[in-house]
A = this chain, B = another copy of it.
């Protein structure tokens, strides 16, 4: 993770792509969202979605996984270059989480994030707040999810 002071509004992260399988859609749904259109192909055909599709919470949680992996790879690369790594987190929350379209079996979702705002934290000395707009787009270029997350990011320590 970069230090707060090295991040700019407009910075873009291509967090990664995930292809949703029927098995993982059903597995998430059994635990967290057991509605028939997330569990059963035939029932889903009769629903307003028309086919088996992922829970919206699943689509959001998959982004979290890709984001953690991306940040880890970024930090590993920086460490390998001998650079210091900024602490980040915790996340404070998410604004405007929108599910535009269903995510169907086989859909490949590309998650892209863009820094939308930055401000120094009043409550936590040595940290800033980073607002990031994330969008997930399917293989047809259609947005399926977007949200704005707010996370603490460490400021670059002052030189003594």
Contacts and interface: CB of A to CB of B under 8 A. Distances in A.
Interface of A: 31-35, 48-49, 55-57, 60-62, 64-65, 68-69, 87, 89-99, 102
Interface of A, helix, strand, loop or mixed by DSSP? mixed
Contact of A96 (B65, B87, B95): B95
A61 B33 contact: yes
B99 A65 contact: no
A62 B69 CA distance: 23
Q: Give the oligomeric copy count.
A: 2
Contact of A64 (B33, B87, B95): B33
A79 B140 CA distance: 41
Contacts of A49: 90
Given A48-B89, A57-B57, A89-B48, A64 B94 contact: no
Contacts of A65: 31-34
A56 B121 CA distance: 21
- 10 shortest A-B CB distances, which residue pairs? A93-B98, A32-B61, A94-B97, A57-B61, A32-B65, A33-B64, A93-B97, A57-B64, A32-B64, A93-B99
A35 B89 CA distance: 11
Nearest to A55: B64
A42 B93 CA distance: 26
